[in-house]
Amino acid sequence: MTPKSIRASFKNGKLTGKKIAVVDGADADFAVVLVRGSDEPGERGLQLALVDLKGGSVVRKAQDSIDPSRKHAELTFDNTPAEPLGKTGEGWQLASRVLDRAAILMAFEQVGGADTCLAMAKDYAITRYAFGRPIGSYQAIKHKLADMYVNTELARSNAYFGAWALSTNARELPLAAAAARVAATQAFDYAAKENTQTHGGIGYTWEMDCHLYYKRSRELGLALGAQRSWKDKLVTELELSNAA
């Protein structure tokens, strides 16, 4: 998402446009929407608006996603009444602050998912025998589990850093959010894939729960924007902190 990609418009208290892949959009009562409040280009024309989704001018359409356990919806607004949140021109900055906080909170969900994948892989490696010995005794499996553990602990550390910055409203909050987001996304993605690999052929079947964690890791990895954008933000924040 970039300022130029925002197409929904908000004028005279009315919102018109469409938002896709809205998490829990089919069940939510209200939504905070990033909209274009004026014809000013880029960030200068953006603001946030609060919308009552129970109104008749809002059309909700369920959307399929890689993770069917978490509902997504397409929301279409047609001159829908809405209330402005902040001034025109502040929308991008406010939305970025919200995303920073969401990234830190979501990082803990991702770390929890990585933890569970590691536990599943370890338990299976201990009980599954091949050629007369547990597969966990083989070096290749040991390396997988060790890498999963290191990645998860690194992500946990960054999540704690983010929690500290969030609870104290520290100036490092944007940096901590980007670090937590990148580390947690990578840790969960790696753990989910290697958990499936450790289980071997049965890990790719519906009989095991490996696929559920893999799907959730992919969904969370896109929920707040692509990983590349968060890496770019992390580099930018590091440059700013070094220049300060």
Q: Which amino acid is at 145?
A: L
Stretch 221-232: mean pLDDT: 92
Structure tokens at 184: 């947690």
Three-state DSSP class for residue 76? strand
d(CA 153, CA 178): 17
Strand partners, 30: 52
Asked if the model's pLDDT at residue 135 lies above 70, the reply is yes
Which helix (H) or strand (E) segment is 134 a member of?
A: strand 133-134
Residue in the structure block whose two tokens are 């998490």: 23
Q: What is the DSSP letter of 226?
A: -
pLDDT at 119: 97
Provide the terminal-to-terminal Cα distance of the chain, rounded to the nearest Å: 28
Report all structural domains of the chain as residue ranges with CATH numbers, in order of start: 3-89 (2.40.110.10), 92-243 (1.20.140.10)
Torsion of CA 116, 120, 121, 126, to 10 degrees: 140
Asked if the model's pLDDT at residue 244 lies above 70, the reply is no
Would strands 133-134 and 129-130 be described as parallel, antiparallel, or unpaired?
A: antiparallel
Stretch 15-25: mean pLDDT: 91
DSSP string, 179-202: HHHHHHHHHHHHHHHHHHHHHGGG
Asked if the model's pLDDT at residue 4 lies above 70, the reply is yes
Structure tokens at 32: 């905070």
Strand partners, 83: 50
The backbone torsions φ and ψ at residue 168, rounded to the nearest 5 degrees and listed phi first, read: -105, 0
pLDDT at 44: 87
Mean pLDDT of the chain: 93
Residues contacting residue 198 through CB under 8 Å, at least 6 positions apart: 121, 124, 125, 135, 141, 144, 145
pLDDT at 130: 92
Closest among 203, 164, 210, 160 to 184, alpha carbons compared: 160
Stretch 198-208: mean pLDDT: 92
Residue in the structure block whose two tokens are 């059309």: 59
Stretch 196-222: mean pLDDT: 94
| 175 φψ region: left (φ > 0), alpha (ψ -120 to 50), beta (else) | alpha
Torsion of CA 238, 173, 41, 55, to 10 degrees: 150
d(CA 35, CA 236): 25
- Angle formed at CA 29 by CA 25 and CA 55, multiple of 5 degrees: 100
Tell me the per-residue pLDDT of 22-52, one tens digit each, with 9 for 90 and over: 998 889 999 999 999 887 777 888 999 999 9
pLDDT at 120: 97
Contact (CB, 8 A) for 7 and 45: no
pLDDT at 166: 96
Q: Which amino acid is at 96?
A: S
Percent of the chain's residues with pLDDT above 70: 100
Stretch 159-186: mean pLDDT: 97
